[in-house]
Amino acid sequence: MKLNETARIGLGCMNLSHAYGTPPPEQDAVALLNRALDIGYNHFDTAALYGFGANESLIGKAVSHRRDEFFLASKCVLVPDDAGKRSLDGRPETIKKTCDAALKRLSTDYIDLYYLHRYDKNVPLEDSMGAMADLVSAGKIGAVGLSEVSAETLARAHAVHPIAAVQTEFSLWTRNADIAVIDKCRELGTTFVAFSPVARGYLCGTLTDVNSLGERDLRRTMPRFSAENYPKNLELLTPLQEVAEELNATMAQVALAWVLQRDAHIVAIPGTTRLSHLQDNFEATGVTLSDLQWQRLDKAINDQQVYGRRYNDAAQADIDTENF
């Protein structure tokens, strides 16, 4: 199975193990992954970073017996260091070591799509890409992807080995990829994978109080979710709610439909820990916005209207994507 043969809504698996406070009990996560396959999801996205390997292990335990039913994507370069802290390491030997460990955790002998989770600028890009090409030649991965890179970096990497996918945050409130990356993906025949397409829950319309977020929730570090900015951002949601009512859809479904209608080569990978949201998200492919509705949302919620940056300084330092 190739990425362009999968459903346009895939499953981002990160929050089953990482980033959004206390993850669900393992038995619930296992049930959700299997339910996703039953519904029709056939693209699962994980990474070595998520839970420092725990997310890959979860997928291996939960659905490796159904391996032929889904396209599997994972990532390297963002890895835990010897002290158990997040580190950036794009050296060829680390990439290969990370892949071998991932294969073991995932209980599989191949990963369909393997991303450089970030571009480690301390290592020549051509060296990191050479390691990825070696993994393809060894049959350990099927294709190479990049995450959070600029159009220039994409072109450089593609000159070493074809890039099957670029994964970047993209939603109504995050449009960095509109500057150049989406166009470059179209030019090169690269699939664009939108992560956080419902803006980490913001576009669902249900997160009304950021004080309810757990102490370990990643959103607490993000300026858009600050106590000062988030109430202002909530005021921007009225047009999204109105369009959802017009279409008899959820706000999340409308937000996903907006992303998918941006370009035919885009797929989205929303994450969730709830079975009801799992079903709703997958059914977003059946929601069609009129041109007027799409443009109305386009103008109502975007980088110019939103209050706050998407990342703090520390997180932004690892990002190569163009900025407004």
Report which of 318, 319, 321 is spatially closest to residue 87, judged by C-alpha positions.
318
Q: CA-to-CA distance for 107 and 231, rounded, in angstroms? A: 44
Q: CA-to-CA distance for 46 and 72, rounded, in angstroms? A: 8
Q: CA-to-CA distance for 253 and 273, rounded, in angstroms? A: 16
Q: CA-to-CA distance for 118 and 147, rounded, in angstroms? A: 6
Across-strand partners of 20?
217
The DSSP result for 219-235, as a single string, is: GGGSGGGSTTTHHHHHG
8-state DSSP, 40: T
| Active-site pick, 20, 41, 50, 230 | 50
Q: Are 67 and 1 in contact (CB under 8 A)?
A: no
Tokens standing for residue 56: 């890959």
- Asked if 50 is an active-site residue, the reply is yes
Q: CA-to-CA distance for 17 and 207, rounded, in angstroms? A: 20
Q: Are 128 and 92 in contact (CB under 8 A)?
A: yes
The dihedral through the CA atoms of 256, 323, 21, 32 has a sign that is: positive
Tokens standing for residue 39: 């519904």
The beta-strand segments (E) located in 77-162 are 78-80, 86-88, 111-116, 141-147
Question: What's the CA angle centered on 113, arms 112 and 119, to 5 degrees?
Answer: 160
Report which of 137, 86, 139 is spatially closest to residue 111, judged by C-alpha positions.
139
Residues known to be catalytic: 50
